[in-house]
């Protein structure tokens, strides 16, 4: 992406993510995990989240299942929440060069550009206080992730979270790469 395209991608992604998270936090639940995630093939990023209440509903007392899914973006009932809000992002990415046709170097530069924008979006939303709506920010982990996961997720997590945050420390022990 060139600088103009990067800026447009950021703006569209920010608008979509803000809309989706605002609608998510209108739900009367206590969220502990919020992520903006993208696949390695560079498809439209989506949000996912877990609340304590959703985890209890999904597990229904099954502690093994709870351990398996509590940090899983894909197993959350809030995976791809408000996906329709991301239609402008999807349209924009459909007009970008196909990442599967790129050299390894081009692919890495493109995916890094998208992930960098995702991190900036989550940071800006955090600065605006969106992750404190109806809950304590210090009880939440905020992430910008690539799937499948790699250690770059942990590096971004450190930049997006207070290292003393108890929930962040749990995430580091239980889910970080």
Question: What are 114-138's pLDDT values in tens digits?
Answer: 999 999 999 999 999 999 998 899 9
Contact between 34 and 131 under an 8 Å Cβ cutoff? The reply is yes
Portion of the chain with pLDDT greater than 70, in percent: 99
CA 145 – CA 147 distance, rounded (Å):
7
Model pLDDT for residues 37-73, shown as the tens digit of each residue: 999 889 999 999 999 999 999 999 999 999 999 999 9
Task: Go through 130-158 and write b for each residue having 16 or more CB atoms within 10 A of its CB, e for each that does not.
Answer: bbeeebebebbbbbbbbeeeeebbbebbe
DSSP structural state of residue 29:
S
Neighbour tally for 119: CB within 10 Å: 21
State residue 97's pLDDT score: 86
Beta carbons of 156 and 176 less than 8 angstroms apart: no
Task: Render pLDDT for 150-176 as a digit per residue (tens, 0 to 9).
Answer: 999 999 999 999 999 999 999 999 998
User: Are 1 and 96 a contacting pair, CB within 8 Å?
Assistant: yes
52, two tokens: 């304590």
User: What's the pLDDT tens digit per position in 76-120?
Assistant: 999 999 999 999 999 999 998 888 899 999 999 999 999 999 999
**Exposed/middle/buried for 129, CB within 10 Å: 0-12, 13-18, 19+?**
exposed
As a whole number of angstroms, the distance between CA 163 and CA 138 comes to 10
Which of 45, 111, 103 shows the shortest CA–CA distance to 79?
45
Q: Is the pLDDT of residue 2 over 90?
A: no
Please check the confidence at residue 1 and state whether its pLDDT lies above 70: no
pTM of the predicted model as reported, rounded to 2 decimal places: 0.95
Contact yes or no for 35/47 (Cβ under 8 A): yes
Ordered by start, the domain boundaries in the chain are 3-174
pLDDT beyond 80 at 148: yes
- The pLDDT assigned to 37 comes to 98
Per-residue confidence (pLDDT) for residue 4, from 0 to 100: 79
């Amino acid at each position: 992406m060139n600088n103009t395209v990067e800026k447009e991608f950021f703006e569209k992604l920010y608008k979509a993510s803000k809309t989706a998270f605002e609608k998510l936090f209108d739900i009367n639940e206590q969220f502990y995990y919020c992520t903006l995630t993208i696949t390695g093939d560079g498809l439209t990023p989506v949000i996912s989240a877990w609340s304590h209440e959703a985890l209890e509903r999904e597990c229904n007392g099954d502690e093994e299942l709870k351990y398996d899914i509590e940090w899983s973006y894909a197993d959350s009932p809030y995976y791809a929440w408000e996906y329709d809000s991301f239609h402008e992002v999807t349209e924009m990415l459909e007009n970008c060069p196909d990442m599967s046709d790129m050299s390894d170097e081009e692919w890495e530069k493109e995916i890094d550009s998208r992930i960098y924008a995702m991190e900036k979006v989550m940071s800006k939303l955090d600065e605006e206080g969106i992750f404190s709506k109806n809950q304590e920010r210090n009880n939440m982990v905020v992430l910008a992730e690539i799937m499948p996961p790699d250690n770059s997720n942990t590096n971004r997590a450190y930049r997006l979270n207070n290292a003393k945050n108890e929930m962040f420390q749990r995430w580091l022990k239980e889910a970080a790469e």
